[in-house]
Structure 1
Amino acid sequence: MKKNLILGFLVILIAVASCSFTNKSFENDDKDKLLLDLITYILERGHYEPKDINDDFSVNVFEDFIDVIDPTKRYFLEDDILEFEKYKFQIDDQIKNTDISFFNLVYDRLLLRMENATDIYKEVLSEPFDYSIDESINIDYKEQSFAGSKQDLKERWRKQLKYATIGTYDAKLKNQDLMLEEDEEYTSLPKEELELEARKETKNTLDEYFDFVSDLQRKDWFVYYINTIVDEFDPHTYYFAPEDKEKFDISMSGKFEGIGARLQKKPEGAKIVEIISGGPVWRDQQLEVGDEILKVGQGGEVPVNIVGMRLEDAIKLIKGPKGTVVDLTVRKVDGSVEEISLTRDVVELEESYAKSATVKKENNKYGIINLPKFYVDFEDYGERNAATDVAKEVELLKEEGIEGLVIDLRDNGGGSLKTVVEMAGLFIKDGPVVQVRSSGKEKDVYEDKDERIQWDGPLVILVNELSASASEILAAAMQDYKRAVVIGSKQTFGKGTVQNVIPLENIVRSNEHGDLGAIKLTTQKFYRINGGSTQLEGVKSDVVVPDRYSYIDLGERDQRNPLSWDKISPADYKPWDGYIDYEATIESSTKRMASNPQLALIEENAKWLKEQQDTNVVSLNFDTYKKEEKADREKSKYFKSISDYDSHLTFESLKYEEELFTQDPDLREKRNRWHNDLAKDVYVEEAINVLQDLKINNIKNGKLASVKG
């Protein structure tokens, strides 16, 4: 159905677009203007919720494009911005007339200012930093104005470079102290020499960065301009240049060489927003969602500072062939800065698949299925997909004699819609699972039509802020049917939109410009069977529990230009009637969680992490810097006890996996580590408590009903 929808959409666009683009010609910048014309045409006619390209749109593009190419405000001067502002209310007209003079002006000035910046940082780093001065830097660059003069700009660079160097200087002092402890004959260097070495390292990283940037072509910067325009429509609509489209196809196949993490651009570096199961980051366990990568080094070489670098360029540095080492300087979510070395590898697909275990509590046995994503092979649905794999795991768990089931969708970013509908059907008799609406069209209701129920026992679904898209559909359906108790964050991610990737070459009948890339376009919206959208609001858990991300900016609501929440008519469905005391079970769980000391500690940690993220003023006085670092380190150490928790639950692999361990010791190690993590997981422990409550309530009330009958 999805393939037919895409084809239908393309047929409409091609039929109309061929008239518009076959005979169009431009005098200058042909490909850029064709690209701008083509993309805005598709956005206006194909996007789920097209925006008016007016003066307000123009202002947003103006501000966002400047922010994209100079996020730390270390290139442009106030006079530059004033000159650019003559276009502030004209960009909408330029877009309609395929005029790119605004881009040309900004691009030409950027090259000049980058050349000036090279002279500035070399001059600043030629002089020692005085760390005894009581001064600080505000790293909330959004709230700052552009420098008013070249002297002001030089002062801004001085503070930024001092800030970039103080950590290196501190690390060298620590390393020297360590060497003195280990070797009595070690000759220490004076602080002045260590400070000089630290400045040299900072200079080397900037030299490499500017060498890297100098290799970028005009077309690379134009892609940023195009995507600034595209991004005004919604955060999931995106233009892929030809080489980026190829990378997207590789990532969709699930096979790529790198570190196994999805990154998001931030002014202070690249933020980790997803860790891919089975990849180097996942195996190493030193990085986590929320950490920010500041520098990237190649196997012991001097690291390159990626602050202010385009995300795609930073990713090029981070990715690399299997077996090579990448050194990442990272600011952890708790504010500490560490250097972490990872060996790049092919991400192991096996850890992206469903896996299950049995859980023993007292004399009862339960099952847990972990599903990292809703995977599918679109070329061959029968090859392997999330729905059939989960169905197999459920059957195997039933053979083990489980009395309740947990589906763990935490950190699951979504995937195939078809697999969600089939998976929901494993737990209900039949009926609607999700509603989908295209712009200006009637809704489509996706239903489970198979009356068989594979699991009719107690069911719990675990979610968190990173459960998105397809995960939200399953959780919402089970919640609306009152089929499962949803335990987790206050709300899930909130991505309730559908995207289709459209190659631009399919739109232009006669193209002399080669591969034009593709656009990932938002074309539909998801709705729960109760009529509410999962967009923005996500799924609100039945039992809300804090986690370390509770107060950190994550989710659709924290993206730029998200589509709004709305509601349509509900589908025709009948709630599950297999539970007795369903509401009482939720109330009982909520009370347990409110008095749980482990969760109180987790919430305290979450609030502290939020405080750390909101601290934008950093001292450049070394003594103060050290004092603050020590306090942060002690606080971070205090929260390490969270990982010492023991639920005293016993987790075991299924029999078929036990037989595989003799042939695959790596699989045994992965499962042992997973089971150890589960045993420390207070959320899994509560999920088992809820299963126990649902089972007991059903048995007790079932017996009473029989007696009364």
Structure 2
Amino acid sequence: MRLKVLITLVVTLLISNHTYAYNEHTNDKDPEKDKLILYVLKNLLTRGHYVQKDLNDTFSEHVYNEFINNLDPSKRYFTQDDLKEFSQYKFEIDDQLRESNIAFYKLVYGRFLEKIKAAKLTYNTLLLQPFNYEKDEEINIDYDKVPFAKDENELIQYWRKQLKLQVISRVQDAEEQQEEKLKKDKKAKKKSFEELEYDARKEVLKNMEDLYIRIEELENSDWYSTFLNSVVSGFDPHTSYMSPRIKSRFDQDMSGKLEGIGARLQKEGIYTKIVELVSGGPAWKQGELEPGDIILKVAQGEEEPLDIVGMRLDDAITFIKGKKGTEVRLTVKKKLDGSTKVIPIIRDIVELEETFVKSSVVEKNGKKYGIINLPKFYIDFSDVKKRNAASDMEREIERLKKENIEGLIVDLRNNGGGSLKTVIDIGGLFIDKGPIVQVKYRGEAASIKNDTDGKTSWNGPLVVMVNEMSASASEIFAAAMQDYGRGVIIGGKQTYGKGTVQNVLPLNYYVKKYPDDLGALKMTIQKFYRINGGSTQIEGVYSDIAMPDRYSYMEFGERDLDGALPWDRVKPANYKRTSSYSNFGEVISSSKERINADPKFISINEYAKWLKKNQDDNTYSLNYDLYKQESEDLQKEGKKFKDIFKFESKLDFNSPEYEVPLFKQDSVLKDKRVAWHKNMKKDIYLNEALNVLSELKMKNNYQLVKK
């Protein structure tokens, strides 16, 4: 709070002393508005960001590269001749920022608009005739490693190869579909390669035309937002500028009003990316869509799919949303292996109830155990009397204790975080009292956040499940339980590693009486530290027991983000390990031996290596026969892994007794719980977590906390 007040005073003072002329009726092409936004952002960042960063030549070079690459991620527009002209500003952008000068932006943006117009002629001309599919050539689609074209002639060759790859891919898909159709109906008409190729070129042309119609619909403010994000990303990858439209959607997200397929989306270059699946939502239930997947096309049921590459996010969302019970078919590029897949999802109302705490009871070897699933650390700051993750967790523990459970699993897999207050309160449910986390502002000593109530809800055996998607508040809780020795952390090798805190600052708060919405800055203002002194940034939390999963060898997490803040440490807090267990080390060793010998886990580990190998292979043959052979070989390799996640335990998962009467009034809730329990039986990771929990023994002086 102290920092925000300081920022407010400083920036308001600066802006009041800096004159900006603006009309009452500003518009999207108002250069003074653009300069004003840049001015406010610069002052907020240099005075309030966690990192004190000099606006120097290194920073200038970052903005230069980032903006050009964000406008042209596939190397379709700019040549080295263009870069030579742009480079006059390569080390001057920092000086321009100090003066709120946008000359670099105007030059690059102006050239970009010219290139967009030229691109339409290029792809139309190239798609008029068939490509040479017998020519031995290849394309590397890891465009970060591909240099910009030397000149316009080489740029056309880049275009030719990219379009040729799209055509080849569609021809192969069409051939496979035709073969499947002929198996079912031998009288079905078989098209020749030439006919399939012609259809594929027509489809690619239509998709390109649709794409460029949408690109031309974008306004100066859309591209200027790209430039501003190129600037603010120079501080860290979680700091971003939100245009008024993005800020509006962010506010809607925070309010919890979700609908459609139950997925959070964000723009990544020209693509629409899945960021998170809402637990219990349609996409989560369907099971094939995953965070990191890119949505390429959207079809309404059996209608023709619409290409959404290049479409503004708001527009893409309108096509993905729809009425409950209707089907949407998403053509996605999978993050893990780069394959393209059509995923059908039946839309539904995404109820907030499924983002709240829920629990289950299971019996193993004659003993009962509880499982609590916590999708996020939620709270409504506008009404503290409303339910929140901490009060819900406490209530659920009390309900499970009435079931006479003898151990508890807290499942934080895919939990991206949430409220700091709730994670401190939840941590306090498992210890008497003491520090839970340390928080540090720039230039200040770390502040220790304690649980102070002296009340413990659960002091019995505890296992905490995490994975690579467990981030932020999840990592704080897991780290605290690990540092206290309070529970076993089991899951992926390490959690995501996001140890920073962001605050959203509406820019109009600092520019009084400005008539237009200027958007907002989401800015990193703090770092988290464990009570042992180490940061959760980059490192995350290493599991006591690491289980192989599909992400094991992937570049995944904070450590793989450009410009991520570094790991460091502060002075440890004063805390005492609980030493609750008599066989902690033995249980961990036993689990590791079991995992290493389990054929299922061995296969999953091999699958993870295979995914990593394919992730690193970004080169495709543009000779059709070779492309087809490579694709068939890949599919053949993949088939041997198709059943690796098939698993079914002999355990039965049930709702706690309090929930059963609710099913008579709410059949939807009952269906959701039935689906959840069915998935739990198939969860090999949960099965091993239960093995661990069942083996943990408390010391002789242990006595279960009673209500």
For the criterion TM > 0.5, the same-fold answer is yes
Match of 1:489, as an amino acid? Answer: G
Deviation at 1:702, TM superposition (A): 8.0
**Offset at 1:129?**
2.7
For residues 135 and 345 of structure 2, the distance between their equivalents in structure 1, rounded to whole angstroms, comes to: 37
Q: Which residue does the alignment assign to 1:78?
A: 80
**1:365-400 CA deviation, whole Å, 9 max, x = no partner?**
111111111111111122111111111111111111
1:48 Cα deviation after fit: 0.9
Deviation at 1:177, TM superposition (A): 2.8
Residue range with higher mean Cα deviation, 219-228 or 269-278: 269-278
**In 2, distance between residues paired with 1:123 and 1:523?**
51
| 676-685 or 661-670, which deviates more | 661-670
Q: Are residues 1:67 and 2:75 paired?
A: no
- Alpha-carbon shift at residue 131 of structure 1 (Å): 2.7
Query: What displacement does 1:181 show?
Result: 3.2
CA distance in 2 between partners of 1:220 and 1:264 (Å): 14
1:490 paired with 2:493, answer yes
Find the residue that maps to 2:438 and give its secondary structure: strand
Alpha-carbon shift at residue 578 of structure 1 (Å): 2.3
- Is the aligned partner of 1:660 residue 2:688? no
* Change over 3 Å in CA distance of 1:299–1:21 after alignment to 2: farther
Can you give the 5+ residue segments of structure 2 that lack an aligned partner in the other structure?
22-29
Match of 1:706 in 2: none
Residue by residue over 1:270-298, the C-alpha shift from the partner in whole angstroms, topping out at 9 and shown as x without a partner, is 44342221333112222123433233445
Deviation at 1:302, TM superposition (A): 4.6
Q: Give the structure 1 partner of residue 139 of structure 2.
A: 137
Match of 1:11 in 2: 5
Letter matched to residue 689 of structure 1: N
Paired residue for 2:644, among 631, 642, 662?
Answer: 642
Relative to structure 1, the CA distance from residue 43 to residue 335 in structure 2 (aligned partners, 3 Å threshold; closer, same or farther) is closer
SS at match of 2:417: coil
* Contact kept? 1:64, 1:228, Cα under 8 Å: yes
Distance 1:362 1:603 in 2: 29
Q: Is the 8 Å Cα contact of residues 434 and 477 (structure 1) preserved in structure 2? A: yes
Q: Does residue 245 in structure 1 map to residue 239 in structure 2?
A: no
Counterpart CA distance in 1 for 2:415 and 2:278 is 10
92 and 268 in structure 1: CA distance in 2 versus 1, 3 angstrom threshold: closer
Superposition deviation, residue 357 in structure 1: 0.7
CA shift digits 1:609-639 (9 cap, x unpaired)? 1111111111222322222222222333222
Q: Which amino acid aligns with 1:515?
A: D
Give the TM-score taking structure 1 as reference length.
Answer: 0.93
Match of 1:340 in 2: 343
1:611 and 1:314 map into 2 onto residues whose CA distance is 35
CA distance in structure 1 between the partners assigned to 2:318 and 2:205 by the alignment: 18
**In structure 2, how many angstroms separate the alpha carbons of the residues matched to 1:258 and 1:232?**
34
Q: What SS does the corresponding residue of 1:451 show, helix, strand or coil?
A: coil
Report the Cα distance in structure 1 between the residues aligned to 2:596 and 2:315, rounded to whole angstroms: 42
Q: Answer yes or no: is the 8 Å Cα contact 1:10–1:502 preserved in 2.
A: no
Question: Which residue of structure 1 aligns with residue 43 of structure 2?
Answer: 41
Q: Among 576, 581, 584, which residue is 1:582 paired with?
A: 584
Per-residue CA distance 1:596-615 (angstroms, 9 max, x = gap): 22111111111111111111
1:444 corresponds in structure 2 to 447
Partner of 2:365: 362
Contact 1:296 1:317 in 2 (8 A): no
Cα distance in 2 between the residues matched to 1:17 and 1:581? 57
CA distance in 2, matches of 1:675, 1:624: 46
Tell me the equivalent position of 2:125.
123
| CA–CA separation in structure 2 for the residues paired with 1:601 and 1:698 | 37
Aligned partner letter, 1:16: V
Which residue in 2 is equivalent to 1:320?
321
| CA separation of 1:682 and 1:300: change in aligned 2, threshold 3 A | closer
Matched, 1:433 2:427: no
Q: Which residue matches 2:680?
A: 678
What letter corresponds to residue 41 of structure 1 in structure 2? N
Q: Report the 3-state secondary structure (helix = DSSP H, G, I; strand = E; otherwise coil) of the residue aligned with 1:662.
A: helix
Counterpart CA distance in 2 for 1:318 and 1:632 is: 32
Matches within 5 A, 1:81-160: 81-160=83-162
Matched, 1:624 2:618: no
2:355 to 339, 347, 352: 352
1:79-114 per-position Cα deviation (integer Å, ceiling 9, x unaligned): 111100110000000001111000000000000001
**Alpha-carbon shift at residue 668 of structure 1 (Å):** 2.5
Distance 1:399 1:419 in 2: 24
Please state how far the C-alpha of 1:211 moved relative to its aligned partner: 0.4
State the AA in 1 paired with 2:459: D
Q: Whole-Å Cα distance in 2 between the matches of residues 271 and 326 of structure 1? A: 16
In the other structure, the counterpart of 1:424 is 427
2:414 equivalent among 408, 411, 419: 411
Q: 1:63 to 1:301 in 2, by over 3 A?
A: farther
Partner of 1:389: 392
Whether the 8 Å contact between 1:327 and 1:339 is mirrored in structure 2 is yes
In structure 2, what is the Cα distance between the partners aligned to 1:312 and 1:183? Answer: 41
Is the Cα–Cα contact under 8 Å of residues 75 and 117 in structure 1 kept in the other structure? Answer: yes
The answer (yes or no) to whether the contact 1:242–1:516 under 8 Å persists in 2 is: yes
| Structure 1 counterpart of 2:53 | 51
8 A contact 1:13–1:507 mirrored in 2: no
Q: Deviations over 1:572-593 (max 9, x none)?
A: 1111132212222222222222
- Superposed displacement of residue 472, structure 1: 0.4
Moved more, 649-658 or 499-508: 649-658
Report the equivalent of 1:400.
403
Stretch of structure 1 that moved more, 155-164 or 320-329? 320-329
| CA offsets 1:484-536 (integer angstroms, 9 cap, x no match) | 0101122111111111111111112342x421111111111111111111111
Contact 2:327 2:347 in 1 (8 A): yes
C-alpha contact (below 8 Å) 2:79/2:152 kept by paired residues: yes
SS in structure 2 of the partner of residue 639 of structure 1: coil
Does the Cα contact within 8 Å between 1:422 and 1:448 map onto a contact in 2?
yes
For residues 129-159 of structure 1, what are the alpha-carbon distances to aligned partners after superposition, in whole Å with 9 as ceiling and x for unaligned?
A: 3333332211011111111222211111111
| 1:46-94 residue CA offsets vs partner (Å, 9 max, x unmatched) | 1111211100000111011111010000011111111001100000000
Query: 2:690 maps to what in 1?
Result: 688
Query: Matched residue of 2:540: which SS?
Result: coil
Name the CA distance, whole Å, in 2 between partners of 1:411 and 1:591.
26
Per-residue displacement from partner, 1:5-37 (whole Å, max 9, x unpaired)? 2xx444322322222112433578110111111
Q: Give 1:368's aligned amino acid.
A: I
Q: What secondary structure sits across from 2:539 in the alignment?
A: coil
Task: State the Cα RMSD in Å.
Answer: 2.2
Cα contact 2:273–2:293 (8 A) shared by 1:
yes
Tell me what 2:26 maps to: none
Indicate if the aligned counterparts of 1:271 and 1:290 stay in contact, CA closer than 8 A: yes
Report the secondary structure of 1:561's partner residue: coil
Which of residues 167, 170, 185 is equivalent to 1:168?
170
The structural deviation recorded for 1:259 is 2.9
Letter in 2 for 1:349: L
Whole-angstrom CA distance in 2 between matches of 1:29 and 1:298? 40
**Count of aligned positions:** 693
TM-score (norm 2): 0.94
How far residue 319 of structure 1 moved from its aligned partner, in angstroms, is 4.1
Percent sequence identity over matched residues?
49
The alignment partner of 1:294 has SS state of strand
Native 8 Å contact 2:215 2:311 kept in 1? no
In structure 1, which of residues 380, 383, 386 is the aligned counterpart of residue 383 of structure 2? 380
Give the drift of 1:346: 4.0
Q: What amino acid is aligned across from residue 14 of structure 1 in structure 2?
A: T
Task: Indicate the larger mover: 204-213 or 617-626.
Answer: 617-626
Distance in 2, matches of 1:362 and 1:516, equals 61
Cα distance 1:639–1:459, how it changes in 2: closer, same or farther (>3 A)?
A: same
Q: Structure 1: any 5+ residue segments left out of the alignment?
A: 704-709
Distance between the aligned counterparts of 2:430 and 2:250, measured in 1?
34
8 A contact 1:336–1:629 mirrored in 2: no
Which of 552, 559, 562 lines up with 1:560 in the alignment? 562
Q: Which residue of 1 aligns with 2:470?
A: 467
Match of 1:192 in 2: 194
CA–CA separation in structure 1 for the residues paired with 2:4 and 2:479: 31
My pick for the range that moved more, 316-325 or 664-673, is 316-325
